[in-house]
Amino acid sequence: QGQIYIGGVNWALMVGVVLLVLGFESSASLAAAYGVAVTGTMLITTLLMGVVIWRLWKWPLWLGVPFFCVMLAVDSLFFAANLPKVIQGGAFPVIAGIVIFILMSTWKRGRQLLVERLDEGSLPLSVFISSMRVQPPHRVQGTAVFLTARTDAVPHALLHNLLHNQVLHEQVVLLTVVNEDSPRVSPDRRFEVEAYGDGFFRVLLHFGFMEDPDIPAALRLCHLIDL
């Protein structure tokens, strides 16, 4: 967990290191950038550790404050000692860190706005199934699988399919893929199936972060779909 090897990223890092060495031209400039990067990382790690101490570990103030202040003072001194190196090439890791932070925060905010926008028009699954029992649509043979990240709402694709075609399949599978923190998931933990009745099923497929998700193969294990 937390140690994932991706070949493409590894090659990109190698190319980046070679370009940095060629770009800085001298070991002194490269050492300046290295010093700012390392001490800056130490300072940021200490600040994040303070958040963990209070929010996650919930240490008492008499223990957490002195410990945090000592670590912060030490890392701040190291970082301040390396600040003069910014004009000697140390500005590169600072600029690179700011650019990466902007990209990651923009992506996160965009994902958040997208989820909020989709949630505005979402329909609770229980309400949808109840309405299907009151006014059942025409059911056709076969099984329809709809991917969804939420387990409590109706996928938009299902609603659009119903409005456009005015029919539902005999079996409707709401499929959610769950990425686990473990590298691999054993076959007996691969899936969870919940039947809602009237041909509606909720299927959760679990995959480890080192696995290449094979959705058709996993669905065959559920004995719900014959692909």
158-173 confidence digits (pLDDT tens)? 988 888 888 999 999 9
Distance in angstroms (rounded) separating the CA atoms of residues 94 and 101 = 11
List beta partners, residue 167.
138
Domain boundary among 92, 119, 146: 119
Same domain? For 146 and 185 the reply is: yes
Same domain? For 149 and 114 the reply is: no
* Contact of 172 with 200, CB cutoff 8 Å: yes
Q: Quick check: is 226 in a domain?
A: no
Same domain? For 20 and 115 the reply is: yes
Distance in angstroms (rounded) separating the CA atoms of residues 174 and 132 = 15
pLDDT in tens, 88-147: 888 899 999 999 999 999 999 999 998 888 777 778 888 888 888 888 888 999 889 999
Lookup result for tokens 């719900």: 224
pLDDT in tens, 214-224: 888 888 877 65
Same domain? For 180 and 113 the reply is: no
Higher pLDDT, 3 or 135: 135
pLDDT of residue 74 exceeding 80, the answer is yes
Longest alpha-carbon distance in the chain: 77
pLDDT attached to residue 227: 42
Tokens of 219: 């669905």
Tell whether pTM > 0.75: no
Domain boundary among 68, 84, 119: 119
Considering only CA atoms, which of 200, 208, 98, 185 is closest in space to residue 155? 200
Domain of 150?
Answer: 125-221
Distance in angstroms (rounded) separating the CA atoms of residues 98 and 179 = 29
